[in-house]
Structure 1
Amino acid sequence: MPTQLSELQKITELVISWEALPNDFHLEDEPVENTGQPILAGALRESLEIAGFIQPQMLIASNFGLCATVNNQIIVKAPDWLYIPSVKEILPERRSYTPNLEGDIPAVIMEFLSHTECGEYSFKRTYPPGKWFFYEQILKVPVYIIFDPENGLLEFYQLENERYQLKQPDENGRHWVDSMGLFLGTWQGTKEGRTGYWLRWWDKDGNLLLWAVEKIDKERQEKEKLIEYLLSQGIDPNNLPI
């Protein structure tokens, strides 16, 4: 009985520390599960960049190693997408990140579901712990998002009283991400040859943050409307002073 209690105690008690990875620690290059996932992650970043949201101190990455040491064992998870408000040092070739030691904990983590079961819902406590347990109980990430690209299901979990609570979207089907000052929701359409569901950002006024191709198209339409208006007023657009 004492041995069993001792083993149980090891499982239930977590000693968490934030230590730099050893120089000889091997970070695995996790395989991409399907071609859609990097496109989804890239699209999320692209619209933020175009909107001028991204600042140098922020860290936005995908398939990127998040590290912690739990009960003297190093744990590394690679979320499909993450947002960290501020890091202490800007490193161009960063492959891993240890919260608290190197800066803020991630404010938002996303996982995209695929045909392969990867434990997005796993609350496994023993080594190596499940993703859900790692994000909720070890890193304590405020917002955890699980997205199914096939059917557009967006699950938005918020950390409350040390547990993730599923939140319902607003009347527009969107969720407010307080740490970013933006709404997140789903959208259907085509980009980079992929037709289906996407995750998109909206600002506080409900304006969609555009992708590059959308911004170019919008500017073209505005130019055409201006030319049409000038012509209706008997003004030749080609003779306007520069």
Structure 2
Amino acid sequence: MTSTPEILSISTPAPFPDHTQLPESDGTFVKNFQEHPQSILLTDSITPVLQHIHPTGDYCIGQDSGIYWRMMDPPEKGAEAPDWFYVGNVPPVLNNQMRRSYVLWQELIPPLIVLEFVSGNGEEERDKTPWVGKFWVYEQVIRPAFYGIYEVQQSRVEVYHLVENRYELVTENQRGHFSIPPLGVELGIWQGLYQNVTLPWLRWWDADGNLLLTGDERAEQEKQRADLLAAKLRELGIDPDNLC
């Protein structure tokens, strides 16, 4: 009697989870009321620059969103959630869904710049403890080309540039700004009123030192130009409302 050979069962490793299968929050609160307006200010003002660089819209911006860099239990322990970051050459929508997080093992492209808004003394953002410290994780694993630490209470920002696998502190230019050459912009501190609050806000300038305006600021600037032109026409006896 011949025996039937035993069929061995070979288990297939489970695929790595994607952004739809990983937690989009660790359940903690935003640290203060300034963080979201600060993120919106950065995004709003740099959008025309990014649209010029990426005419097809292939870029994404994360605001207090998770960047997953390793598998952990629970999963959110394997993620960092920068207050603001930008990644080029990836679409904002993935598999017909808005991104819930950014998953490095799925995307492979690191962010170009990551910004952290300090709520304490900055110790957490400068922690270089291997596998634990935020600075170490950004430098050695996530590896954004630029890492900024913004301290609103100190009215300052530190910017680091990844050079030969190590972060080097970027020196500010004559305007007190930090150059981000791949974007053609500068990052610095602007003291002013935004969303009804006067603070030393983190903002962008172009390479010539011109402040990048938000949509509301651009609209107000155009209104002032139109009002000035109308006033000059009236001085000449011309009714601007009758002009085609």
TM > 0.5: yes
Runs of 4+ in structure 1 displaced over 4 angstroms?
Answer: 21-25, 70-74
| TM-score calculated relative to the size of structure 1 | 0.82
1:217 aligned counterpart, secondary structure: helix
Q: Aligned residues, how many?
A: 221
Within 1, Cα distance between the matches of 2:20 and 2:201?
A: 38
Find the aligned partners of 1:140 and 1:165 in 2 and give their Cα distance. 13
Q: Residue 204 of structure 1 corresponds to which residue in structure 2?
A: 207
Deviation at 1:213, TM superposition (A): 2.7
CA deviation string 1:180-199 (max 9, x = no partner):
12111110011112211111
Asked if the contact 1:150/1:196 (under 8 Å) is kept, the reply is no
- Give the equivalent residue in structure 2 for 1:9: none
Shift of 1:62: 1.0
Partner of 2:34: 36
Which residue does the alignment assign to 1:68? 69
Structure 2 residue aligned with 1:10: none
- Look up the SS of the partner of 2:106 in the other structure: coil
Aligned amino acid, residue 124 of structure 2: G
- Label 1:225 to 1:162 Cα distance change in 2 as closer, same or farther (>3 A): same
Q: Percent identical across equivalent pairs?
A: 30
What TM-score comes out, normalization by structure 2 length? 0.81
Aligned to 1:191: 194
Give the secondary-structure state (helix, strand or coil) at the position aligned to 1:231: helix
Tell me, in whole angstroms, the C-alpha distance in 2 between the residues paired with 1:19 and 1:219: 50
Pair 1:113–1:205, CA change in 2 (3 A): same
Per-residue CA deviation, residues 149-186 of structure 1 (Å, 9 max, x unaligned), is 12211101111121111111100111111221211111
Root-mean-square deviation over aligned CA pairs? 2.6
Rg larger in structure = 2
Q: Deviation string for 1:26-73 (max 9, x for gaps)?
A: 442432000101111111001123x35344211111111101127999
Q: Distance in 2 between matches of 1:212 and 1:198?
A: 16
SS of structure 1 residue aligned to 2:212: coil
Indicate the larger mover: 145-154 or 20-29: 20-29
Contact 2:83 2:115 in 1 (8 A): yes
Query: d(CA) in 2 for partners of 1:151 and 1:94?
Result: 33
